[in-house]
Chain A
C-alpha cells in the first residue's frame, strides 16, 4: 500500500516540527480546523489561550526569552484580527514570531465569506513579511522562508495565511531547505573600513559613552560590549530594551537612559563627546528633542538594519552589521582612553543623583520592586506591562544577563506583560519568571490566568495596584493641571479573589512590612502560577522624567515646583 499523501495541514505541522517548534499558542475556529486536527498527532504541544492577543504575546515572550521564534495559530476573520496588536508589538521590538491564520477557502476569497478578513491586507504594515498560501505545494518553502525571515537579520513577525482548501487538500511537495528570497540579504561581519574608522573616532574621544540597545541583546553582544567598555574604560548606558546585554551592576554601567532613565545616565548623554549606539535606534523616548540631542558629540551607529541609518540622527559613522560581530572586530583595534576625569564625573553624578523614593506615606511600588530585586538579584526573568510600574521596574530591577528582561518598548502595549511571562516560562521551565504588571494592563489579558493554571506553570505575577491608569494620570497631573480624565479604575476587581476564582494561588501586600515575607512566599512557590497584589499608594509619579519632546538636559530629576507646559513630543 502506498503511504497516504499528507494534507496541507499535516505537511505544515511536519514542517513546524522540522523547525524545532515545541509549542504553538493558539485558539481554534472553522478555517483553522484542519491544522488543529493535524496537531493531534504531532509532538508539538498546543497551548490553548483565552484570547488571540494573549497567544501573540506568549509567542513573543517565548521568543525574547530564547531567541527562538514563537508560533501562533488562529482562525480566520476575528481570530486573525485579534493578532494585530501582537504583530505590531513584535515588529516594533524586532521579536521573531510566526502567526499562522486559517482563511476561508480560496474560491471564496474576496467574496465576504463567513469569517473572511483580508488578513494579509490588514497586516501589511505590522509584519516583516507575509504569505497568502495559494497552493499546498508551496507550504514547505513558505515555512522554511518564514523561519529564516523571522529570525535572521533584524528579526520580526511573519504571517502565513492558509485557506482551508489548501490545508485540507493533499500536499506531496517534499521538504526543502531552499529559499527563494532574491530581495533579502543579511549582513554579518561589517566592512573593516567602518570598524577602523570607529576605532579612529574612539581614539580621539575623552568622554565616550556606549549606548546599548535591543540589538545587542538579540545578537548576544553583551560580553563583547563589556570587554570593549573595559578596554576603553568607557561608561555604558542602555535603553529600556537593552537591559541585561551588559550587567547593569558593572561599575562602568550608569543604568537606563532616556525619558525615565537615571539622572546620571542622562547627564552622561548630555556631556559625552562621543556616543556609540550599539543596536539601538535613537528612539524618541531616548533622544528627547532630536535637534538638541548631543549636538556636538561624535555619533557612531552600529545597526544590522541599514534603514536605520539617518532615520532619526545622521551619524558621523554608520556601520552596518551584527552588533556582536562588529564589536568583536573592533576590540583589537582600540586602546585604553584617558577617561579618568570623565569616569570621576560620572561617579560624582551617580552619588549626587541616586534613584530614590519616599520611605513614608504608605506602600510604594518602588519599594516593592526594590525588594523584588533584592530577592531575585537579576537572576529571574522579568517581564513587564506598560506604565509607571514598567519604568520603576526598569529603574530598580537591575538586569544582569541577557534575555532576563522582557518589556514592550516600541509599541508600549498594555496587556503584554502577563502573557509574555507565560511564554517565557514555557521556554525556560527551570527559571524563575515574574510578570510585573499594572492593574490596568493586567485586566487586558488577565483571562490567561486560566492558561497558566491549566499548565501548572510556576509563573509569578506581581500586580502593582494603584487603582489608576497611573502613567496617564501622572501626565494629567503634570501637564493638564491635574484634570484627570478617564484614568480612575474604580470598579477594579479584588485581584486576590479573581486569581482564586481561576484556582490560582494569590497573596496581598498592604504594608511595607509585608513585602519581603510575601515576595519570599511567592518566590518559593513552585506548584503552579501565583499572583501577588501590591496595594500601593494611588498617586505617585515616576522621576526622573524628560517630558516628551523636551531636550535631555531639561530632565526633571524630581517633582517640579512650577507648572509645566504641555509636551510637544510625539506622545
Chain B
C-alpha cells in the first residue's frame, strides 16, 4: 500500500438520519422522496420495510444538508398525509446498524492479508471463488466505511450496502 498524498478534504454538509413511520401504501415512497428532490437534496441511503404491523412501513433515510433546511424538511415530511411520524435522530444515541457485501479480486497471494482484516472486523467470507471473494460485514456505517477503505487497495469489484437501520433505545419512539 503506497502512501498517496491525502486529497484536500471537501466540506460536506453534516449527515443526518431520519426515521419515518408511514402507511404501507403505493406512492408513499415517491411522496417522501419528492420532498428531498424538490430541494435538490441527495438521499445517501434509504431503507424501507414493513413494520410490526403490516399496515405500516419504516423508512430510514440518511442525507446531508444544513440543519435549518433539514428541520424544515422533517416538518414537510410529517405533514404528508401518509406519514404517521417523522423523527430526526441525528446526534441521538440510537442503535444503528448496516450490512455490506464486498466483492474483491482477492488473488491468492493477497488472501492472508485480507483474512487478517476480515477477522479484525468480525466480517465473514460468504463466497469463495478462485479469482474473487465476497465478504459480508456489519456494524456502524463508520465501521463499514473504514473496512471498505482498508480493502480498496485489493481491488473492489462490487460494493452493496444495505443502508442504515436505526432504532431508538429504551422506550423511546423510533
Contact = CB atoms under 8 A, between A and B. Distances in A.
A491 interface: no
Nearest to A154: B79
Nearest to A121: B30
Contact of A125 (B26, B38, B81, B82): B38
A181 interface: yes
Given A124-B31, A125-B38, A310 B71 contact: yes
Contacts of A129: 81-82
A132 interface: yes
A311 B71 CA distance: 9
Interface string A308-319: 011100000000
A413 interface: no
A132 B28 CA distance: 12
B79 A306 contact: yes
B72 A307 contact: yes
Given A124-B34, A132-B26, A132-B27, A307 B68 contact: no
Contacts of A128: 81
Interface in B21-42: 22-23, 26-27, 30-31, 34, 38
Nearest to B37: A125
Contacts of A347: none
Contacts of B30: 121, 124
B113 interface: no
A120 B75 CA distance: 23
Nearest to B55: A182
B43 interface: no
Interface residues of A, number: 19
A132 B85 CA distance: 23
B71 A183 contact: no
B173 to A, nearest CB: 14
Interface in A276-318: 305-307, 309-311
A125 B34 CA distance: 8
B31 A307 contact: no
Given A183-B22, A183-B23, A310 B72 contact: yes
A183 B83 contact: yes
Nearest to B33: A124
Interface in B48-83: 56, 68, 71-72, 75-76, 78-83
A130 B26 CA distance: 11
A125 B26 CA distance: 16
A183 B80 contact: yes
B84 interface: yes
Contacts of B80: 183
Interface string A128-146: 1110100000000000000
B81 A149 contact: yes
Nearest to A314: B68
A208 to B, nearest CB: 27
A128 B80 CA distance: 8
A492 B107 CA distance: 78
Nearest to A181: B81
Given A121-B30, A183-B82, A307 B23 contact: no
Interface in B80-111: 80-85
A228 to B, nearest CB: 27
Which one of B26, B34, B79 has the highest number of Cβ atoms from chain A below 10 Å of its Cβ?
B79
B123 to A, nearest CB: 39
A310 B68 contact: yes
Nearest to A129: B81
Contacts of A306: 75, 78-79
Contact of A183 (B27, B38, B75, B84): B84
Contacts of B34: 124-125
26 contacts: A120-B27, A124-B27, A124-B30, A124-B31, A124-B34, A125-B34, A129-B81, A129-B82, A130-B27, A132-B27, A149-B81, A181-B81, A182-B23, A182-B56, A183-B22, A183-B82, A183-B83, A183-B84, A305-B79, A306-B75, A307-B72, A307-B75, A307-B76, A310-B72, A311-B72, A311-B75
Interface of B: 22-23, 26-27, 30-31, 34, 38, 56, 68, 71-72, 75-76, 78-85
Nearest 9 pairs between A and B by C-beta? A307-B75, A129-B81, A183-B84, A307-B79, A184-B81, A183-B83, A307-B76, A182-B84, A183-B82
